[in-house]
Amino acid sequence: MIDKLKRLEKKIGHTFVNDDLLKRAITHRSAGSRHNERLEFLGDAVLDAVVADIVYKHFQNKREGFLTNTRSKIVQRETMNRVAVELGLDKMVVYSAKLSSHNNHMYGNALEALIGAIYLDQGYEVCYNFIQNVLIKKYVNLETIARKEVNFKSSLIEWSQKNKLEISFDLIESFTD
């Protein structure tokens, strides 16, 4: 286990002062009482703040809506899971054998927990540098992700308005909780 942790530290460019934080960051709730959920909570918040700052500085002439959408695309579960797998976290996460390793959030959650662990281990600036220099620069192309379309309904409405075509949506079923 220690060799795996050292390889991960080398890959992420961060050596932990407190190894327990790293162990906790990669431990899923199913594997014991010292798991990563609290670190995930913290890492999610730090990630949001850092990515907002990076996007704000990178896209200097863009409006708030564009910045919000771009930040959302970076921190969304799909992106976090992909980056986690590319970092090799899928081979590092400790979880119960009873739990499917195909849990669609486990690796992204572990990445957020890792961010929280780095933040607690050495502070905001070191964590900021990790997110910027490892996650963003190596695994997320800001220009490409900014152009990625995720709100197809809005795009269709904008297209129809631009082309002076009427478009309508019919409600087929409605449910209330």
List active site positions: 44, 112
Q: Which residue in 37, 42, 50, 52 sits closest to 105, CA to CA?
A: 37
CA-based angle 92:6:100, to the nearest 5? 5
Whole-angstrom CA distances from 71 to 65, 93, 113, 116, 148 are 10, 26, 19, 18, 12
Contact between residue 106 and residue 100 where contact means Cβ atoms under 8 Å apart = no
Tell me the C-alpha distance between 112 and 122, whole Å: 16
Per 3-state DSSP, the chain is made up of helix, strand and coil in percentages (nearest 5) of 65, 0, 30
Both tokens of residue 117?
A: 């662990």
